Structure 1
Amino acid sequence: MVLDFLNKTFNNREIALIFYLLIFILWTLTQTKIRGSIFGLIKALFAKQIFISILFLLFYISLVVYALSLADLWNLSLIKDTIYWTFGVGFILMMNSNKAMQEENYFKKFVFENVKLFMIIEFILGLYVFGIITEFILMPIVIFLSILLGYTEVYEEHEKVKNFLLKIFGVIGIFYVIYSGYEIYQNFKSFANYDNLRVLIFPALMTILFLPFAYFYVLYTFYESLFVRISIFLKDNKSLRRFAKWRILLTVNFSLRKLKLITPGYLFGGCTTKQEIKNEIIERINKNPAANNL
């Protein structure tokens, strides 16, 4: 029964990956230090603030999925793809929210990375897989090479090894593309159908529709952090502290760029009046006049 469920739900490549992933998990559970780190991570995920954020994330994704289903762009066959996208894109984007404040045009870059022509190739490669034995042989090789590539990207002195590994991945990729192209040529009618089109465009749709949540989550996170700092900087003047928060809200609104200009450094040092608060906010914003148009 278990094998029947796996065959219906996952393709051979995914079954091989799950098998080796389970082996890795079982191995980590035998390592005392790693096991402690895993339990620490799980405990951290259930911290109140993170747990609430995850619930909001899942709620928003559920709304998006429901809207897509009404438009006939989602059905139950996409549950697996939805889970992959949630943990592979949505959750990671939410956890890396600090990058949105550190990098220029972060959201544009993110969309470009997740909505591009290369996704079509990835879709095709995932659609046509080898037999179960072949996938079980290839999977540990690909995993091992991926680990080595990750290591060489961290340590720049291994640049030659990195280039060699990239060539190997290029050869493997060409091999997969040729195989997939042959399968499409042999079974073009089974390839060109609406269900496959849904699978192809689903990640792009989810990424684009998720951006409002990601943007406002980042905005909320940094407003919260900023207001905590203001409570420290103006801890002796409750009225001035409340005014500073409201003034920033009214000035910044929903602009991350303006928020970036206000956030750095020591805020409202020596300010004792509301006018001084206003002046400092205006001064910080005017350091970059272009932000006033955002």
Structure 2
Amino acid sequence: MDILNTREISIALWLILAATYIYSAKRMREVRSAFRKLTFAFHSRPLMIVFSLAAVYTVAMVYLLFDWGLWNIDQMKNTVFWFFSVGMLSIYNLDKIRTDPHFFKNSVIGNLRLLAILQFVIGIYSLPLLAELFLVPFMVVMGIMIPIADADIKYLQVKSLLNGIVIFFGLFTLAYTAYMLATDFEELGQDKTFYDFIVPALLTVMYLPFVFVMMIYSTYETVFVRLHFTVQDRRLRRLAKLYAGVLFNFRLDAIRRWADHVARVEVVSHKQLLNTFFHLRKLKKLEKMKPEVARSQGWSPYLAKDFLLSEGVSTGYYNLIFADQWCASSKMYDIGDDLLCDNFAYYVEGVEGVAKVLKIKLNVNDNSRARQANERLLVLSGVLVRESLGIDISDSVKDALRFGAQFRESHGDKRIIVKKASWGGHKLGGYDLKIEVVAT
């Protein structure tokens, strides 16, 4: 009854692969070179250890589900698909997971809904055996290669090629499933459908503890490696590791903050080591209290760092940078979606307990996009001036920002300064444009 027999599926797949090859013929030399570099990642011992641990943990989950009557051998394909599409991607994305405080909640709510429905749809009907024997290992390799290629911009061409293949596979599978649902709807009544629906959801929930443990391990491993460069004395370094494990345990954000502070101060004695922990405790207390600062002195840094939250711009913690200089800064926010897009960041600078300078810095990498970038800076500057000075931004400042002109104006004991610095010799006429609100 199938109109898609094995021979036709094979011919269609190879035609698509051939078309993909022809489409990218002009760049195949670069693609092959990137692929050769990418294969070195598989020789990474830490990567293979984590891969093996994840596989062992998945086998243990499958054994438990089988023992509970919630898994059978028909779910082998779905389990392999889940492992390489969810299990391995979670490991590759540990850095992103660490910065997302809602990851585990979203995984339980979002992944259970999305993955269960997706697996339910694409797992109802199986392709002919020969097509499955080809596609399953092929897509497993794709699932491994894509997150590795995604980690480095030099693999961009490889990533585009792999994504194109995977997108085609997904559309083909969904189209085939839609056809079968229309012609053989009774398949939905089989017991297999129940397993197709519940297994990926259960695997996702049961996998979260493993992801959490890997996240803890990778965080502590990174911190302890940094200590070899920041704490030279071996005995102090061992004590630092012991104290960190006891005091921070599962509070990963706290141990990263502590490691950043240790990298900025001198630690050559036990007292200095203890002071690093006292310093962090003091900061947490200040952040909770948000002590007021006299208007003539500047701003409370614990308030100033949130002045642009309404625009989706947030900073890290206000902390000691060097000597008596303190700073909180945001990440670089992109403007547009070009490969080399413009970007900006927000900085709060000052001394302990008092912010003296509020700054937004815009980097324009292509002068042809200057108008769009400057307009975005103008919107942010209006919010910053209103939040910091309680006034609307003046037309003079607006013009300076729009046209990238040097400008300054005073407002009592505060000043607004606009600065532009061209990048000499830059092929695309790049420059940076800054607005500063300064307490004099």
TM-score, structure 1 normalization: 0.66
Q: 1:82 to 1:19 in 2, by over 3 A?
A: farther
The sequence identity of aligned pairs, in percent, is: 23
Shift of 1:200: 0.6
188, 191, 195: which one aligns with 2:188: 191
Query: How far apart are the structure 2 equivalents of 1:17 and 1:278?
Result: 67
1:195-234 correspondence runs (5 A): 195-234=192-231
Shift of 1:287: 3.5
Residue equivalent to 1:108? 105
Residue equivalent to 2:71? 74
Q: 1:125 to 1:64 in 2, by over 3 A?
A: closer
SS of alignment partner, residue 287 of structure 1: helix
Query: How far apart are the structure 2 equivalents of 1:17 and 1:250?
Result: 59
Query: How far apart are the structure 1 equivalents of 2:18 and 2:282?
Result: 57
Larger radius of gyration between Structure 1 and Structure 2: 2
Higher fraction of strand: 2
Shift of 1:22: 5.0
Q: 1:43 to 1:25 in 2, by over 3 A?
A: farther
SS of alignment partner, residue 84 of structure 1: helix
Query: How far apart are the structure 2 equivalents of 1:259 and 1:179?
Result: 53
Residue 54 (1) aligns with residue 48 (2): no
Query: How far apart are the structure 1 equivalents of 2:38 and 2:29?
Result: 14
Shift of 1:256: 2.5
Deviates more, 1:217-226 or 1:256-265: 256-265
Query: How far apart are the structure 1 equivalents of 2:178 and 2:17?
Result: 30
1:266-285 correspondence runs (5 A): 266-267=262-263, 269-285=265-281
TM-score, structure 2 normalization: 0.46
SS of alignment partner, residue 74 of structure 1: coil
Query: How far apart are the structure 1 equivalents of 2:78 and 2:13?
Result: 15
SS of alignment partner, residue 31 of structure 1: helix
Query: How far apart are the structure 2 equivalents of 1:233 and 1:251?
Result: 19
Q: 1:182 to 1:262 in 2, by over 3 A?
A: same
Residue equivalent to 1:91? 88
Residue-by-residue CA offset, 1:91-136 (whole Å, 9 max, x unaligned)? 11101101122222222223333112674366236536999xxxxx
239, 245, 253: which one aligns with 2:241: 245
Please say if residues 252 and 259 of structure 1, whose CA atoms lie closer than 8 Å, have aligned partners that are also in contact: yes
Please say if residues 258 and 285 of structure 1, whose CA atoms lie closer than 8 Å, have aligned partners that are also in contact: no
Higher fraction of helix: 1
Query: How far apart are the structure 2 equivalents of 1:121 and 1:19?
Result: 25
Q: 1:32 to 1:60 in 2, by over 3 A?
A: same
Count of paired positions: 234
* Unpaired segments ≥5 residues, structure 1: 1-5, 132-174, 290-294
Please say if residues 224 and 241 of structure 2, whose CA atoms lie closer than 8 Å, have aligned partners that are also in contact: yes
1:21-170 correspondence runs (5 A): 22-23=17-18, 31-116=28-113, 119-120=116-117, 123-124=120-121, 127=124
Q: 1:42 to 1:114 in 2, by over 3 A?
A: same
* Unpaired segments ≥5 residues, structure 2: 129-174, 286-440
Query: How far apart are the structure 1 equivalents of 2:126 and 2:247?
Result: 54
Residue-by-residue CA offset, 1:206-250 (whole Å, 9 max, x unaligned)? 111111111111111111110011111012x11111100110011
Query: How far apart are the structure 1 equivalents of 2:14 and 2:30?
Result: 23
Shift of 1:26: 6.4
253, 257, 262: which one aligns with 2:253: 257
Query: How far apart are the structure 1 equivalents of 2:262 and 2:19?
Result: 46
Amino acid at match of 1:127: I
Q: 1:69 to 1:26 in 2, by over 3 A?
A: farther
- Cα RMSD, aligned residues only: 3.7
Shift of 1:192: 3.2
